[in-house]
Structure 1
Amino acid sequence: MSDPQNPVPEGSPAAVPTFAQLGLHERLLKAAEALQYQQPTDIQQAAIPVALSGEDIAAMSETGTGKTAAFVLPILHKLLQADAPKSGTRALILTPTRELCRQVVKHCKQLAAFTHLQVNAITGGHDFKYQKAVFRKNPEILVATPGRLKEHLDKGIPDFSDLEVLVLDEADRMLDMGFMEDVTAIANSCSPARQTLLFSATLDSDKFANSRQFSGLLRSPQVISLSSARQSSALIRQQMVLSDDDKHKNKLLLKLLQPDLQRKVIIFTNTKTQANKLAGWLKYMDVNTGILHGDMDQDSRNEEMNRLRRGRISTLVATDLAARGLDVQGVDLVINYDLARNSEDFIHRTGRTGRAGEEGKAISFITSQDWDRMARFERELGLKFEKIKVPGLEARFKGPEKLKSSGKRASTTKRTTGKGKDKPETGAKVKKRQRDAKNVGKRRQPSAKPLTSAAAKWGDGFAPAPVKKKDRD
């Protein structure tokens, strides 16, 4: 996840601090200058001074606003202030996905380029023996995914007794993916005197305050919330195209992917099966396409990402695996082939464009089944989808006939209420079922089959055997 650093616009207030004014180490200032960082972003201005003071932080800010540098820079500064050559790992950064882990490692190395500090990664998809060697080298900063790190922890390999800083990056995603048990176990293995920094794009302050999973990991944290967690970037133009089915979506897709219209496009689906199917079809239609989802091994994932970054492919079909932590420069368009299941995933999907202060565009295909979810996203995220049409490919679905005040579809069937039951209006067709009327008015007849002499004496095996009068007495 890269950190956009926009040039200071003309007429901007002089009160905006520089990186030097934040009190960062001179070697970090040199790295920031080499990366052409000219002034801190809002989240960096708010979080870096608090992190340098040693307080725990729970920070919420939109995707693409520079959260990674907001915790990496103070970590590097703290480690440079006091050398500890004989200590173990001093800073641990947990990320929910391998892709995000790779992005954070890359960014750490860029900012630590003029220092002696070592950064390494522990994720799934790599050999255990190699990773054991990584632990033996005791890198100052370790970036890891919770699942694989917990496996090493169960084997007693890592030692975090010297840990000074623990970072939970995209903490809400780790919670959603069911990693909190592993995260808690890892945190309990760390030095109790550590500083803990929690960062998220979609975890709002209310959800954090009510989360018992996070409250036990931080000590009186300073909460920094610069924007609503359910807010889509104002730099992203949100559009929707009404569609009927997958066949219609495919035709729309080909039209939108015409050459020279976009440099790089990411298409999101909800399932791995759909991603494979769509990517295969696009390749068949001579669209230069790659694919990314959770069933792929790490080498294949890395290869696809490198192909997209280098321009060898122009289109990437992905699941929500790529919605967080995927940072590729020049993504002009995001297409939601399948509408995201929730507003948090929608924010992260569309956040792959409109980064580093650039404008972006996101187009969502909306079917009849997606309408109510789309209306919910508009209400929760405070945005308005611009309805567009692709000439010659208009959908049969034109939208609901009637809408509620919430924007969701309104029922067109009128019902009258009487004595606790909903009755159809006069003239409405009532469905009749044969099972409701086939035995109406008929009495159940006893079996006319005569009993045999044995059955009369001993019974038929189901009813009690007949009892003689003298036995009753």
Structure 2
Amino acid sequence: MFAQFALHERLLKAVAELNFDEPTPVQVAAIPPALEGRDLRVIAQTGSGKTAAFLLPLLNGLMGDPQPRVRIRALILLPTRELAQQTLKEVERFSQFTFIKSSLVTGGEDFKVQAAVLRKVPDILIATPGRLIEHLDGGKLDLSEVEVLVLDEADRMLDMGFSDDVQRIIGCCDKRRQTLLFSATSGGAALREMVAQVLRDPLHLRLNAVGELSEGVRQQIITADDTAHKERLVAWLLANETYRKAIVFTNTRAQAERLSGLLIAREFKVFVLHGEKDQKDRKLAIERLRQGAVKILVATDVAARGLDVEGLDLVINFDMPRSGDDYVHRVGRTGRAGAEGLAVSLICHTDWNLMSSVERYLKQQFERRVIKELKGSYSGPKKVKASGKAAGTKKKKLDKKTDKAKPAAKRKPTARRPKGDAPAPLVSQDGLAPLKRRTREE
């Protein structure tokens, strides 16, 4: 029960109102040290309750007598607009019985409207790096009094090229008393360097191994001959699998647009989501999916992080993701909170090496599947047979007439000359023309 934590009664009331009965393992591990003010570096699988694990301690630290809001007291930095919007909703749900106010600053929204919101000085600011830097450059944003800094999905922010922006924002929060860094993966060298520079005597919590996706998710691959074959496979899966909601991931915006058009032509109800979409269209796509107005979303990796949609039980990788971390985040959209799900990756010859590297990264092998109606000719790389030399045997020549191995040619015996005799003259192979003996000078 959440009552085991030393949380303010108003937060416990909100938790009860939201029907949060038992805390998840990451919440049990992270909330107590976060309440004590420790810096945390937490790795936990997607859908495990990380957001509540940092929000409840953060809100608890801001509780007390209502004070005039004259400074931003907490900053939550996230990689994408969708994840930021989702986090704002969670903050509002948990703080519904408090006087704590929160605001959102992301790209795609009116800059002047956001500037007006910031002038009201919210207690908690939720933001993406790019737009936050724009407000800092405008000289109207002061982060010097931030008490708690949360970096959620920091590895993704670095992957997206926000390293300098994030470092600058961290530098503006120089008076912070606590930093919390949460992610679903361990990230690379850049993230480890950031952890070493930013966190002060941190407690490292790792709640899952890198390959631990939800146990309820089946992971399959289907081989395909080419892009057109993949498109037919996607249509077959969406028409024949049993699912409530599905996401089809592509690696490029152009492919997402093409695939969504093909599916719409086949009378599927589809929305498309990628980075070039207008913010209103992105919001609409996610809301329609959540509400069930559409069952299928075709998206790039912009939807792979933090997107939490109830009933999403099918993920199709039209293109294999470029890294193991990206695969974990895509597949993590299904099978959340103990639910079951299916993840299918379509693999042609250009995807095989990527798929193999992801299997090695996750230390597991995906289930191979064949759709009889659409079985192609490609089934993976051909095994190279060992040559005779490599196998330790020589390949024998076959007789064209008998198709049997030819016997090895017998060597003619050569006469040995007695000692003291003159050397025999050299002759050509036909034994007729004499050959000149080579001297050392030649």
Number of the residue aligned with 1:178: 161
Q: Residue 314 of structure 2 contacts residue 334 of structure 2 at CA under 8 Å; is this kept in 1?
A: yes
> Deviation string for 1:116-155 (max 9, x for gaps)?
1111100011111111111111111110001110111112
SS of the counterpart of 1:27? helix
Number of the residue aligned with 2:438: none
Number of the residue aligned with 2:126: 143
Q: Residue 239 of structure 1 contacts residue 364 of structure 1 at CA under 8 Å; is this kept in 2?
A: yes
Of all paired residues, the percent bearing the same amino acid is: 49
1:311 equivalent in alignment to 2:264: no
1:400 equivalent in alignment to 2:408: no
1:338 equivalent in alignment to 2:319: yes
Write the distance in 2 (CA, Å) between the matches of 1:290 and 1:193.
41
Q: Residue 323 of structure 1 contacts residue 345 of structure 1 at CA under 8 Å; is this kept in 2?
A: yes
Number of the residue aligned with 1:96: 79
Q: Aligned match of 1:51 in 34, 46, 49?
A: 34
Quote the offset at 1:416 in angstroms.
7.3
Quote the offset at 1:369 in angstroms.
2.1
> Deviation string for 1:430-452 (max 9, x for gaps)?
xxxxxxxxxxxxxxxxxxxxxxx
Q: Aligned match of 1:351 in 308, 312, 332?
A: 332
Number of the residue aligned with 1:105: 88
> Deviation string for 1:347-378 (max 9, x for gaps)?
00001100011011101111122222222212
Number of the residue aligned with 2:352: 371
Q: Aligned match of 2:302 in 275, 298, 321?
A: 321
Number of the residue aligned with 2:410: none
1:300 equivalent in alignment to 2:281: yes
Aligned letter for 1:179? F
Number of the residue aligned with 2:149: 166
Quote the offset at 1:401 in angstroms.
3.0
Number of the residue aligned with 1:215: 196
Q: Residue 58 of structure 1 contacts residue 221 of structure 1 at CA under 8 Å; is this kept in 2?
A: yes
User: What TM-score results when the alignment is normalised by the length of structure 2?
Assistant: 0.85
Q: Residue 119 of structure 1 contacts residue 139 of structure 1 at CA under 8 Å; is this kept in 2?
A: yes
Q: Residue 164 of structure 1 contacts residue 191 of structure 1 at CA under 8 Å; is this kept in 2?
A: no
Quote the offset at 1:381 in angstroms.
0.7
Write the distance in 1 (CA, Å) between the matches of 2:278 and 2:180.
30
SS of the counterpart of 1:132? helix
Write the distance in 1 (CA, Å) between the matches of 2:21 and 2:385.
57
SS of the counterpart of 2:315? strand
Q: Residue 119 of structure 1 contacts residue 142 of structure 1 at CA under 8 Å; is this kept in 2?
A: yes
Quote the offset at 1:274 in angstroms.
0.3
Structure number with bigger Rg: 2
Q: Aligned match of 1:32 in 2, 15, 29?
A: 15
Aligned letter for 1:151? E
Number of the residue aligned with 2:208: 227
Gaps of 5+ in 2: 398-442
Write the distance in 1 (CA, Å) between the matches of 2:141 and 2:352.
49
Aligned letter for 1:133? A
Write the distance in 1 (CA, Å) between the matches of 2:35 and 2:303.
31
> Deviation string for 1:440-473 (max 9, x for gaps)?
xxxxxxxxxxxxxxxxxxxxxxxxxxxxxxxxxx
Distance 1:180 1:426, change over 3 A: farther
Q: Residue 334 of structure 1 contacts residue 350 of structure 1 at CA under 8 Å; is this kept in 2?
A: yes
Write the distance in 2 (CA, Å) between the matches of 1:84 and 1:164.
15
Write the distance in 2 (CA, Å) between the matches of 1:426 and 1:64.
61
Aligned letter for 1:379? R
Q: Residue 74 of structure 2 contacts residue 147 of structure 2 at CA under 8 Å; is this kept in 1?
A: yes
Aligned letter for 1:121? L
1:238 equivalent in alignment to 2:219: yes
Number of the residue aligned with 1:386: 367
Write the distance in 1 (CA, Å) between the matches of 2:386 and 2:70.
71
Aligned letter for 1:175? L
> Deviation string for 1:154-207 (max 9, x for gaps)?
121111222110000001001111112111111111142431100010126xx5
Distance 1:108 1:210, change over 3 A: closer
Aligned letter for 1:316? L
Write the distance in 1 (CA, Å) between the matches of 2:65 and 2:214.
39
Number of the residue aligned with 2:428: none
SS of the counterpart of 2:364? coil
Number of the residue aligned with 2:264: 283
Quote the offset at 1:261 in angstroms.
2.2
Write the distance in 2 (CA, Å) between the matches of 1:269 and 1:193.
39
Number of the residue aligned with 2:24: 41
Aligned letter for 1:58? R
Q: Residue 158 of structure 2 contacts residue 190 of structure 2 at CA under 8 Å; is this kept in 1?
A: no
Gaps of 5+ in 1: 1-17, 403-410, 418-424, 428-473
Distance 1:336 1:86, change over 3 A: closer
Distance 1:210 1:71, change over 3 A: closer
SS of the counterpart of 1:398? coil
Q: Residue 154 of structure 2 contacts residue 191 of structure 2 at CA under 8 Å; is this kept in 1?
A: no
Aligned letter for 1:114? F
SS of the counterpart of 1:231? coil
Q: Residue 313 of structure 2 contacts residue 334 of structure 2 at CA under 8 Å; is this kept in 1?
A: yes
Aligned letter for 2:38? E
Aligned letter for 2:220? Q
Equivalent residues in 2 for 1:258-269, closer than 5 Å: 258=239, 261-269=242-250
Number of the residue aligned with 1:117: 100
Write the distance in 2 (CA, Å) between the matches of 1:336 and 1:193.
41
Distance 1:387 1:129, change over 3 A: same
Write the distance in 2 (CA, Å) between the matches of 1:91 and 1:372.
43
**RMSD between superposed Cα atoms in Å:** 2.0
Write the distance in 1 (CA, Å) between the matches of 2:345 and 2:244.
19
Q: Residue 180 of structure 1 contacts residue 213 of structure 1 at CA under 8 Å; is this kept in 2?
A: no
Number of the residue aligned with 2:400: none
Write the distance in 2 (CA, Å) between the matches of 1:281 and 1:61.
37
Distance 1:396 1:118, change over 3 A: same
Quote the offset at 1:382 in angstroms.
2.3
